[in-house]
Structure 1
Amino acid sequence: MSIPPNSSEGIFRTLKEEILNLTLKPGQALSENEVCTRFGVSRTPVRSVLQRLQAEGLVDVVPYKGTTVTLLRLDDIEQRIYMRIAIESMVLRDFIDVCTPILLEKVRYIIRKQTVLMEGQFSSAEFYALDSQLHEIWFKATGKQLLWQLIQQSQVNYTRFRMLDIVAVQNYEAIMEEHHRMFTAIEQKDKAAIEPLVRLHMYGGLNRLGRRIETDFREYFQPFVLPASGCWE
């Protein structure tokens, strides 16, 4: 059964998706009146939606001042990348042990879908969705679904940052090259190559954006200090 778009749940899902895919940008004001007008509802359901978004860390609600989309926190993003490298390296090494021809073909299929997607008109959200499906394969295959769910539930900042990388840089070829190299390591059962490749992939967004974080997108972030080199390893 479909959820009515102007129901409380429908409004929540729409606004959450727009925040995560950067349609609503970090720091952008979110007017209660405009949301009411847009969805044709009263203030009561809108206030409930804003409270839910606040609970998930997606908006800041300041009484008598208004609501804004939360800014990105670079230190939070860096720590989540660090966590993902540690966890995903272990999961991928386990995946190599259990990887069957069918599972390998599933990985190949997602990478092929991304390649085909890039040959036509596509949205950044479509590319990101396939990227997430790819990573989910090895978490599920190794029985680490709970870990995957916890990662998804706790990475509001990281998800938006990944979208910033995809939307702003649009270097899909670099991301695809990383995927192909990871696939080769899995296919060849090269466990020693896994952690360096995961590290390269996870830090890729930070390194692709580089100094643009400080120049073009500073208003999207809480105050931060970049590494002297402007690069992450």
Structure 2
Amino acid sequence: MPAQSQPGRSADMSTMPLSVDDIHGVIRHEIITLKLMPGAKVSENELARRFHTSRTPVREALLRLVDEGLVEVWPQRGTLITPISLRAVRRARFVREAIEVAVFRKAAIDGLPADVLTQLDAIIVQQHEAREDPVRFTEADDAFHRTFANGIVVGDIWSVLEREKAQFDRVRFLSLPNVTPVAILIEQHRKMIATVRDRDPEAAEQAVRDHLSEVLKVTEQLSARYPDLIVNDM
């Protein structure tokens, strides 16, 4: 199994109670990074104690995760982390590709500000430094795609992608760094930046499609390796 770590925000909740958004973000991060494994049972009471709050904001956060397909509630069994659904992974990849192709084509056609390109170059360096740490690498990978989405300045596109890609992210995390070589992903990111610098929308579109196909290449392999975590519901 890949290495695991705490979410970006400290799990020490000894100060002020967290908001519903914060609680949702912490639990979601722990599901995606497999700190909370598929099939694990979660308790509203225990989470309320952990976050120093009442059960109401915890319940609201869990309901959001139900909507995202990351949590399911069974009357006799309780609240459980869902297995990874290959159908949901393919759906997320389809939606993400449609949006990101549009993002990268617009970036290549219109260009990106120099400071955004500099920021993207810096993220590539961060990814290289985090290549042995799946959590840090995943965070840098998200930063790369988020910077592009924000860079074209047409609204909060990233929040749409963030909601859609949760199941996709769990497979992505599970594949790092041994199944999907990190060096390949970094090189693909470099190529994506280069196509935008060259103002070549056709090449940018193809670079995005090639990049997002990497997860689908390994889903069956991961499904066979981790049958307790992944449901082949295609």
Tell me the TM-score normalised to structure 1 length.
0.78
Unpaired runs of 5+ residues, structure 1, are 226-233
- 1:163 aligned to which of 169, 173, 194: 173
Number of the residue aligned with 2:230: 221
Number of the residue aligned with 1:179: 189
Tell which structure's C-alpha radius of gyration is larger. 1
- 2:163 aligned to which of 122, 147, 153: 153
Contact 1:72-1:221 at 8 Å conserved across structures: yes
Number of the residue aligned with 1:230: none
- 2:34 aligned to which of 9, 22, 40: 22
CA RMSD of aligned residues (A): 3.0
Runs of 4+ in 1 over 6 A off after TM superposition: 39-45
Deviation, 1:189, is 2.1
Identify if the C-alpha distance between structure 1 residues 150 and 45 changes in structure 2 by more than 3 Å, giving closer, same or farther: closer
Secondary structure in structure 2 of the residue aligned to 1:203 = helix
1:183 maps to amino acid:
I
1:135, 1:213 → 2: CA distance? 24
Contact 1:98-1:141 at 8 Å conserved across structures: no
1:46, 1:102 → 2: CA distance? 39
Contact 2:84-2:230 at 8 Å conserved across structures: yes
Alignment of 1:78-97 (within 5 A): 78-96=90-108, 97=110
Identify if the C-alpha distance between structure 1 residues 216 and 141 changes in structure 2 by more than 3 Å, giving closer, same or farther: same
Secondary structure in structure 2 of the residue aligned to 1:224 = coil
2:72, 2:134 → 1: CA distance? 26
Query: Which deviations, in whole Å up to 9, do the C-alpha atoms of 1:4-25 show, x marking residues without a partner?
Result: 7264646544322211211111
Number of the residue aligned with 1:143: 153
Tell me the TM-score normalised to structure 2 length.
0.78
Deviation, 1:169, is 2.5
Deviation, 1:202, is 0.5
- 2:79 aligned to which of 42, 57, 67: 67
Secondary structure in structure 1 of the residue aligned to 2:39 = coil
Query: Which deviations, in whole Å up to 9, do the C-alpha atoms of 1:176-220 show, x marking residues without a partner?
Result: 11111112212222222122211111111221x253233112322
Secondary structure in structure 2 of the residue aligned to 1:189 = coil
Deviation, 1:140, is 1.4
1:141, 1:117 → 2: CA distance? 23
1:49, 1:93 → 2: CA distance? 35
1:191, 1:48 → 2: CA distance? 42
Larger deviation: 150-159 or 50-59? Answer: 50-59
- 1:101 aligned to which of 114, 122, 130: 114
The number of equivalent residue pairs is 220
Number of the residue aligned with 2:126: 113
Contact 1:8-1:49 at 8 Å conserved across structures: no
1:8, 1:104 → 2: CA distance? 35
Percent identical across equivalent pairs? 28
1:105, 1:42 → 2: CA distance? 44
Deviation, 1:41, is 7.5
